[in-house]
Amino acid sequence: MGRGDLEGTVSPSGRDELARKFVEWRSLVLDASRCPVRDVLDRVGDKWTTLIVMALAGGPQRFGALTRAAPDISKRMLTQTLRNLERDGLVARTVYPTKPPSVDYRLTALGGAMLEPLAALIRWAEQSHPAIVAARRRFDEGPAEESAA
C-alpha cells in the first residue's frame, strides 16, 4: 500500500511519543470524558491565560500592571483568568491591606514550570507563522484540486 507511507522528513521522535500518548489518552477520554490533558489544555486554550502567564514570567505584577500589559483585556476577563490560575495553583495572589488596596500576582513553582513548554510552543508558532499564512492564502485562493492518481 503505497498510499500509507509516512514521509521521512518529519521528526519521528515527537511523533512516536505523541502516538503512544494518544492511545493512553483516548482511553482516559472514554473513561472519564475529562482527561488530565484536556483539562489542562483547555486552560491554555482560552483567550487570555497564556498572555497573563507570559506577563507574569518577568516577575510579580499588580492587577493594574496586568491591565496595562494587555490593554485589550477587560477587568472582568482579567479577574476571571487570574482566579482560574489561582484556583489551579499556578498563580499566587497576595493582598496588601494598604489604602487603597494593592494586590499582586506571581507565578508559583507549579506555574513557573509551565513556562518552558509554553515557550516551546510559542517558538514553534512564531517560526511557523509565515508558512501558515502562506498556506492560508494558497487555500483561500486556489480551488484546491488535489486527488490521488
Under the rule (CB under 7 A), what is the footprint of DNA?
Answer: 46-48, 62-65, 67, 72-77, 79, 82-83, 93, 95, 100-104
Q: What residue has cell string 499566587?
A: 92
Q: Give the integer Cα–Cα distance in Å for 95 and 108.
A: 16
- Quick check: 77 binds a second copy (CB under 8 A)? no
Report in angstroms how near the CB of residue 99 gets to a second copy at its nearest: 14
Question: Whose Cβ is closer to DNA: residue 49's or residue 114's?
Answer: 49
Question: Whose Cβ is closer to a second copy: residue 75's or residue 128's?
Answer: 128
Question: Whose Cβ is closer to DNA: residue 113's or residue 132's?
Answer: 132
- Quick check: 2 binds a second copy (CB under 8 A)? no
Q: Give the integer Cα–Cα distance in Å for 63 and 75.
A: 9
Q: Where are the alpha helices (DSSP H) in the chain?
A: 12-32, 36-45, 49-57, 63-69, 75-87, 109-112, 115-141
Q: Which of 99, 100, 140, 141 binds a second copy (CB under 8 A)?
A: 140
Which of 20, 61, 100 minimizes the C-alpha distance to 70?
61
Q: Give the integer Cα–Cα distance in Å for 83 and 92.
A: 10
Report in angstroms how near the CB of residue 99 gets to DNA at its nearest: 8
Residue length of the chain: 149
Amino acid at 107: L
- Quick check: 87 binds a second copy (CB under 8 A)? yes
Range 100-129, binding a second copy (CB under 8 A): 104, 106-110, 112-129
- Binds 62: which of a second copy, DNA, none (CB < 5-8 Å by kind): DNA
